Structure 1
Amino acid sequence: MRLLILGGTEFVGRAIADEALGRGWEVAVFHRGRHPAPPGVTDLIGDRTAPGGRAALARGTWDAVVDTWAGAPRAVRETARLLAGRAGHYVYVSSRSVYAAPAPAGLAEDGPLVDGAPGDGDADYARAKRGGELAAAESFADRALLVRAGLILGPGENIGRLPWWLRRIARGGPVLAPGPRGLALQYIDARDLAAWAADAVEAGRGGAYNLVSPPGHTTMGGLLAACVRATGGPAELRWSDPEAILAAGIEPWTALPIWLPPGELYDTLHRGDVAKALATGLRCRPVAETVADTWAWLEGLGGVPPQRPDRPVVGLAPDVEAAFLRG
């Protein structure tokens, strides 16, 4: 297999590159040169948002293209048009954010979607991802595979959600643990996403798939307990009810990454239907493995994770946490 990854140097793109290389595929990565390319790939430098920036893609043929773009859909449209006659499939890593809010629990791939346009030059995240889907399908039709990922965790994470919990728990002391302890979580390890996507490319699949673990693959208690075990830190988890956390003005998802209290947004993020992906071979590794491997990766970086410049820094300020725990 010959694979072209648009990106391929960070997190999800890098996980897909590693998976493809591990299968013995020929891999090319097209990127802006801000991060080193994985060893063993063909390195193509360019910026598809700049005039003439796609010159490195003017020649070559591939069995599949993987695109993780989250910006203006126009960039996906122009790249897909350029590659339509020289690539077999177009895998667009989208998001479950493309579903119209509120997305009820159990929503499958045929649920209502936000508006989006393939030619948009600017849009919010949900509309941009939907526009990217339409752009891929415009040029590749049923050869476009739309991977609607949920929360993505694992080694290489450059958003900071799981890294924040690991670093906080490693620091030790009383830790605000948002409850309930048995709150079911739904997420995908980037490496499991990569393995499923590679299988889907080999099988020639197209269309939309929700790609995230089954609801309740782990719980908030299971995740934080795994963080305690992985770090070996002397942390004391102080479980607190959602009502008290919200009353204190502590923001779910941003101040307390991954966590959402029960309600509409929780149903959207942690209770999606993934029967279609499971039926096509999605396998999700245990949370303990994801957590331990992410901690090992963090330690290899000296404990300081990368941070995407286009995303806000997440996590709860120590003084706010301490004030809450004092009651």
Structure 2
Amino acid sequence: MRVAVIGGTEFIGRRVVERLAERGDEVLVIHRGRTEPADLPPCAHLHVDRRDFADVADQVRAFAPDAVVDSYALSRADVDAVLPHLPDVHLVLLSSVDVYRVWELLLADDDTPVPLPLDETAPLRTGRYPYRGRGAGLDDYDKLDVEPAYLARGGTVLRLGMVYGPHDQQRREEPVLRRVRAGRTRIPVGAAGTLLTRLHVDDAAGGVLAALDRPAAARGAVFNLGESVTYSMRSWLKLVLAAAGHEAELVRVPDELVPADLRLTRALAQHVLYTSGRAEALLDWRPADPVASIAASVRWHLDHPPADASADFSADEQALNGGAEATVAHHR
């Protein structure tokens, strides 16, 4: 199979490229050229800023792809710059479960009851641009501006959960691992009862391959991709600690004392729990055991610590000193 991947040098797109190359597919990676890992498998590269995609459309068509994977369409402008210039082949779009109404309620700290787990028919957000004004540089981001155009072209939409694993720029485990590296034996947390469905990057890439391999079932369809088992934040913290081979107490403190980088352990208004039954049934996709996936991710991140890791634990000390009457949950 000949596959063009738009944005394939960093996290999820990178793993898609690696998986395609591993099985012998011919891959064209279309990216800005700012990040070109030396260990990326041999494949063709086409450097272009997304907004200038029309300038290389002839080169993309000359590659004669059987499919195109768009791993980095974030806004309506991203769609308008690329989609009209793509050949009439199977399209796979990476999207997010943040399109669902429950995500909007979570951000608004609104505890309106939501039936769980979510499937692909769950209500979508009523508001737009969920991260506008939050300082994340995503003011125009909205997958609800992206998905409809790809679906209208018969594309496949993969809604991903909280993706983690090697090369994760958000470093999901770092709030725990920076304390592990510092030898911290007491970690202040909130109730840590929230359920957030996660997805290892290898399973995300596997979902892309499954959609590419079953175009008849995948075309024009939406699929949630997430792990089949979801752990509470407390249980996830314990799994990360166990994978790191580190013993620490998870000390319950009031929410207002929880350090900012552990904010997901606070009492949140909503769980984000969803099912991937449609992908399992129609694409024959199966996620790996999350315990093994977490362990593999932790090992990678311990071996590749961030250069700018914070060594400031003053917020921890303040929380631990202010929560002297807190209950303690031991990690054994």
- Both proteins in one fold, TM over 0.5: yes
1:83 — aligned with what? 86
Name the SS of the counterpart of 2:74 in structure 1: coil
From the superposition, tell whether residues 286 and 239 of structure 1 become closer, same or farther in structure 2 (CA, over 3 Å): farther
From the superposition, tell whether residues 124 and 10 of structure 1 become closer, same or farther in structure 2 (CA, over 3 Å): closer
Aligned letter for 2:60? L
2:318 — aligned with what? 323
From the superposition, tell whether residues 51 and 202 of structure 1 become closer, same or farther in structure 2 (CA, over 3 Å): closer
After superposition, the C-alpha distances for 1:171-207 in whole angstroms (9 at most, x for unaligned) are 2223325354665441000100111220111001131
The residue correspondences of 1:119-138 to structure 2 (distance < 5 A) are 128-138=142-152
Name the SS of the counterpart of 2:206 in structure 1: helix
Aligned letter for 1:217? T
1:228 — aligned with what? 241
2:111 — aligned with what? none
Aligned length: 297
Say if 1:153 and 1:290, in contact at 8 Å, map to a contact too: no
CA distance in 1, matches of 2:235, 2:55: 45
2:262 — aligned with what? 256
CA distance in 1, matches of 2:94, 2:307: 23
CA distance in 2, matches of 1:18, 1:51: 23
Matched, 1:209 2:223: yes
From the superposition, tell whether residues 63 and 295 of structure 1 become closer, same or farther in structure 2 (CA, over 3 Å): same
Say if 1:8 and 1:16, in contact at 8 Å, map to a contact too: yes
CA distance in 2, matches of 1:51, 1:70: 12
Say if 1:149 and 1:212, in contact at 8 Å, map to a contact too: yes
Matched, 1:93 2:89: no
After superposition, the C-alpha distances for 1:65-112 in whole angstroms (9 at most, x for unaligned) are 111225332222331211133xx2111111111123338232321223
From the superposition, tell whether residues 316 and 126 of structure 1 become closer, same or farther in structure 2 (CA, over 3 Å): farther
Matched, 1:27 2:27: yes
The residue correspondences of 1:75-224 to structure 2 (distance < 5 A) are 75-85=78-88, 88-100=89-101, 101-102=104-105, 104=114, 105-114=116-125, 128-138=142-152, 140=153, 142=154, 144-176=155-187, 178=189, 180=191, 184-204=195-215, 205-206=218-219, 207-214=221-228, 216-224=229-237
> Where in structure 1 are there 5+ consecutive unaligned residues?
118-122, 307-312
CA distance in 2, matches of 1:151, 1:126: 20
Matched, 1:238 2:250: yes
CA distance in 2, matches of 1:224, 1:287: 13
The residue correspondences of 1:248-287 to structure 2 (distance < 5 A) are 248=257, 250-251=259-260, 255-256=261-262, 259=265, 261-264=267-270, 267=271, 269=272, 271-280=273-282, 281-287=284-290
Q: Which is further off, 2-11 or 49-58?
A: 49-58
Q: CA RMSD in A?
A: 3.0
Of all paired residues, the percent bearing the same amino acid is 25
Say if 1:74 and 1:135, in contact at 8 Å, map to a contact too: no
1:49 — aligned with what? 51
CA distance in 1, matches of 2:67, 2:54: 23
- 1:208 deviates by 0.9
Say if 1:73 and 1:135, in contact at 8 Å, map to a contact too: no
> Where in structure 2 are there 5+ consecutive unaligned residues?
107-113, 129-136, 323-332
Q: Give the TM-score, by structure 2 length.
A: 0.78
CA distance in 2, matches of 1:232, 1:62: 45
CA distance in 1, matches of 2:98, 2:213: 27
Say if 1:212 and 1:274, in contact at 8 Å, map to a contact too: yes
Say if 1:31 and 1:44, in contact at 8 Å, map to a contact too: yes
Q: Which is further off, 129-138 or 9-18?
A: 129-138
Say if 2:194 and 2:233, in contact at 8 Å, map to a contact too: yes
Aligned letter for 2:199? I
From the superposition, tell whether residues 239 and 63 of structure 1 become closer, same or farther in structure 2 (CA, over 3 Å): farther
Aligned letter for 1:256? L
Say if 2:192 and 2:233, in contact at 8 Å, map to a contact too: yes
